[in-house]
Homo-oligomer: A and B are copies of this chain.
Amino acid sequence: MLSVTCKAPVNIAIIKYWGKRHEELILPINDSISMTLGTNELCAKTTITASEKFQHNRMWLNDEELLFEEDSRLMRCLKGVQRLAHINGSQEASLCWKVHIASRNNFPTAAGLASSAAGYACLVYSLARLYGIPLTEELTTIARQGSGSACRSLFGGFVQWHRGVLDDGSDSVAEPVASAQHWPNMHVLILVVNDERKKTSSTTGMQRSVTTSQLIQHRVDKLVPERIANLKKAIKARDFQSFAEITMKDSNQFHAIALDTYPPCVYMNDVSHAIVNFVHTYNKTTGTVHAAYTFDAGPNACIYVLKENVAKLLAAIQKVFPTDSIDTVEYLRGLAVSPESNIEKNSDGATDNSIHTTAEHRKVNGMLNVQPKNLLKYIIHTKVGDGPCQLSDDNSLLKNGLPLSH
């Protein structure tokens, strides 16, 4: 009996993946770049146990058992890693054993974050650990076939997913652009927005965009390659201003393509757009670009902000998007906001952590329109993080091959 437990991060696209050139192999029509988020705040955790005594491959996701062997994406990942292990000369025996898998996210589904990316990355990474094979570009092609953006969650920091040109997808791999340590003060605030609408799934949405949008091909052919190059330059130079502008423009363009789809796909709502307005106004009044929004196929905002600017930005967000929530732990999740940057001298020389203390803050407040209460569900504060890693056995989600909760 073999068992491993691993965790893998969520990633947020900066240059968006939207549209496949091959549905089953999950080959994208354009390159994308993402940032990996810290696993302390957001991660998938997976335990895989292999045993010669197991009769079937089984899997529990957040304690619900799935029909593993009928799930082609899961099976493709399992078979893909086993094939790779076989080539790498792993022990024949364990490769034939059936596996039991338990997987969980440490964040609520309600966050609307792409949990499948972290989940499939964790599955593929855990299988690789189980069979003792290294993290290679080829491994990313297997994660990609579980969920496209999962390939980007196999690395920390900033990651590029190459569209590739080969029909078999072997060159459609994820590759690190820069590590988390390269830009350690890159933080993120995730603004989780209340939204009850039914939305088009991203799989359906991107299919429909590829078929019906008359703008998408121009984006893919002419615009994305330059953006990818410019974003990599900005990341390498730690140039937040350029990074922010490309991030916001690409988020907007992705949603423009979704809107140019027929029937249109609309993922942002009025609150999302109020956040966009807020960020532009905030940047304008502070006189420099301190915040950059990006939105995936949902209404929640991810706001990139350097560590030293988090406290000020968060104070402004809380002013503009007031909440009735008095449960600070529930409402402000994740990393603590470092008090040193939150406290400023006021004119009396005393310290005060209110946003009202400085002239700059007064200016910001004057420009910002306070929104109705409770537009946000909660806020998660996290930062750039590392890739997946293996955990000690006391983190196992399985006991004797069954979920702990059973």
Contacts and interface: CB of A to CB of B under 8 A. Distances in A.
Interface of A: 197, 214-215, 218-219, 222-223, 245, 248-249, 252-253, 255-257, 259-264, 266, 269-270, 273, 276-277, 280
Contact of A260 (B214, B252, B273): B252
A318 to B, nearest CB: 21
Contacts of A214: 219, 222-223, 249, 253
Nearest to A214: B223
Given A223-B214, A264-B276, A270-B270, A252 B248 contact: no
A249 B213 CA distance: 9
Contacts of A257: 256
A40 B16 CA distance: 49
A273 to B, nearest CB: 5
Given A215-B219, A218-B218, A253 B260 contact: yes
A187 to B, nearest CB: 22
Contacts of A255: 259
B253 A276 contact: no
A249 B270 contact: no
List 8 A-B pairs, minimum CB-CB distance, nearest first.
A256-B260, A256-B256, A256-B259, A218-B218, A263-B280, A270-B270, A252-B264, A266-B273
Contacts of A218: 215, 218, 222
Contact of A262 (B249, B261, B273): B249
Contacts of A197: 270
Nearest to A195: B270
A204 to B, nearest CB: 14
A216 B323 CA distance: 39
Q: Which of A215, A253, A255, A280 has the most CB of B within 10 A?
A: A215
A363 to B, nearest CB: 19
A108 to B, nearest CB: 23
20 contacts: A197-B270, A214-B222, A214-B223, A214-B253, A215-B219, A215-B223, A215-B253, A218-B218, A248-B263, A249-B262, A252-B259, A252-B260, A252-B261, A256-B256, A256-B257, A256-B259, A256-B260, A263-B277, A263-B280, A266-B273
